[in-house]
């Protein structure tokens, strides 16, 4: 598939010391749903605004459908932006709000009503066409803002934290609605969020940003299963980190000495003996062993805390040196109360070598 957006070494320096975006290169395919993910201040909005033409880069090139648009104002780009606060006009009806963008494009009057009906039907709100924004709920207003953005049929829709003003339940519902809308309209979506769950649920591809740069990008499951750094492993999902040194290296099964014992791992590439590394594993990939049960990797310790979270239990196990690792387990219906871990009791944590990440250096995220 052809790239609809191509960013080449895009930078935005707000001042010599404030670097919003630092030499980002990124290609987005036609029809793709790409999410820019990262903590507050990592440059997501700056990058999105530059794609939309609301901010000028200090260096680099932006191409839209093979055309250099780096210095074009927003209205000259076939790109539209949905803002977090919706920015609907309160004195206009829903229909007038959606029609607004078409009027500025000089679309024939006879066609406007049809386009407005189509866009509102897509978001399931055509019955609200004569109401005013204040009469609608937050979720409905967000859908109107989406209808207004897609009615002009832009090549690319930019969405900056589009669901952040909604409460948790509605946000979850809107995540799926927005994903389905993307599938229906076939427009390229580039969304910004700091919510990793949202990014995983909605996107074809997630671009994780760190201090103005791309830390890693990939399909949600690839990022989750193969994070390239502790930063990514920590930002997407939860990871237990343990610093160590490689006792037996190689490109197959390696052994890493950590303070509390030895961990065997299957790293993605070759790792020489003596290397200083950090191993990591997901709480849900670890388990507590029953008495007498064996495993390839065992960390011995004591139960420090048991956290109930509805779907299951998260158990914190202290493995010496004050280090804690978390182990998640779903609560099976038949789990006897006597089997629930007790704080202070001895515990053995097991994790399979193929579920252990190996990162260069001893730097915890």
46 interacts with, out of ligand ADP, Mg ion, none, CB within 5 to 8 A per kind = ligand ADP
- Asked if residue 35 binds ligand ADP (CB under 6 A), the reply is no
Of 102 and 158, the one with the shorter C-beta distance to Mg ion is 158
DSSP string for 174-230 = HHHHHHHHHHHH--EEEEEES-HHHHHHH-SEEEEEETTEEEEEE-HHHHHHS-SSH
Of 35 and 45, the one with the shorter C-beta distance to Mg ion is 45
203 interacts with, out of Mg ion, ligand ADP, none, CB within 5 to 8 A per kind = none
142 interacts with, out of Mg ion, ligand ADP, none, CB within 5 to 8 A per kind = none
Of 18 and 336, the one with the shorter C-beta distance to ligand ADP is 18
Of 209 and 233, the one with the shorter C-beta distance to Mg ion is 209
301 interacts with, out of ligand ADP, Mg ion, none, CB within 5 to 8 A per kind = none
Sign, Cα dihedral of 53, 54, 56, 59: negative
Which of 7, 28, 37, 42 binds ligand ADP (CB under 6 A)? It is 42
Local structure of 24: helix, strand or coil: strand
Strand order in the sheet with 312-318: 286-288, 346-351, 298-308, 312-318, 324-330
CB of 48 to Mg ion, least distance (A): 8
- Contact characters 10-29, ligand ADP, x per CB under 6 A: ----x---x-x---------
Distance CA 337, CA 353 (A): 31
- Asked if residue 44 binds ligand ADP (CB under 6 A), the reply is yes
**CA distance readout (Å), 317 to 145, 280, 284, 334:** 47, 15, 14, 23
Interaction residues for Mg ion, span 44-63 (CB under 5 A): 45
CB of 202 to ligand ADP, least distance (A): 17
Half-sphere exposure of 71 (CA within 13 A, CB side): 2
Distance CA 119, CA 236 (A): 34
Which residues are near Mg ion by CB under 5 A? 45
């Amino acid at each position: 598939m052809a790239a609809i957006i191509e960013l080449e070494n895009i930078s935005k320096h707000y001042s010599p010391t404030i670097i919003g975006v630092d030499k980002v290169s990124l290609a987005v395919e036609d029809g793709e749903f790409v999410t820019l993910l990262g903590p507050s201040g990592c440059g997501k909005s700056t990058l999105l605004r530059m794609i939309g033409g609301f901010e000028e880069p200090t260096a680099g090139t932006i191409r839209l459908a093979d055309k250099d648009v780096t210095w074009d104002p927003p209205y000259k780009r076939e790109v539209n932006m949905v803002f977090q606060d919706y920015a609907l006009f309160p004195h206009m009806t829903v229909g007038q709000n959606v029609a607004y963008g078409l009027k500025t494009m000089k679309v024939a009057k006879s066609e406007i009503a049809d386009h407005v009906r189509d866009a509102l039907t897509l978001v399931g709100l055509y019955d609200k066409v004569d109401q005013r924004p204040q009469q609608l709920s937050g979720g409905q207003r967000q859908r109107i803002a989406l209808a207004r953005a897609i009615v002009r049929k832009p090549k690319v829709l930019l969405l900056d934290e589009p669901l952040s003003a909604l409460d948790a339940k509605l946000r979850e519902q809107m995540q799926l609605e927005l994903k389905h809308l993307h599938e229906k309209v076939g427009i390229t979506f580039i969304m910004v969020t700091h919510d990793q769950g949202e990014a995983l649920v909605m996107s074809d591809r997630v671009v994780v940003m760190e201090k103005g740069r791309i830390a890693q990008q990939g399909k949600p499951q690839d990022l989750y299963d193969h994070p390239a750094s502790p930063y990514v492993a920590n930002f997407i999902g939860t990871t237990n980190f343990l610093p160590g040194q490689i006792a037996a290296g190689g490109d197959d099964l390696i052994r890493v000495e950590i303070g509390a014992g030895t961990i065997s791992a299957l790293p993605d590439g070759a790792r020489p003996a003596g290397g200083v590394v950090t191993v990591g594993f997901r709480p849900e990939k670890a388990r507590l062993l029953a008495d007498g049960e064996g495993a390839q990797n065992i960390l011995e310790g004591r139960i420090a805390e048991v956290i109930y979270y509805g779907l299951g239990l998260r158990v914190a196990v202290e493995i010496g040196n004050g280090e804690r690792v978390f182990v998640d387990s779903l609560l099976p219906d038949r789990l006897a109360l006597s089997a629930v871990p007790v704080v202070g009791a001895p515990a053995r944590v097991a994790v399979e070598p193929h579920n252990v990440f190996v990162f260069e250096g001893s730097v915890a995220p």
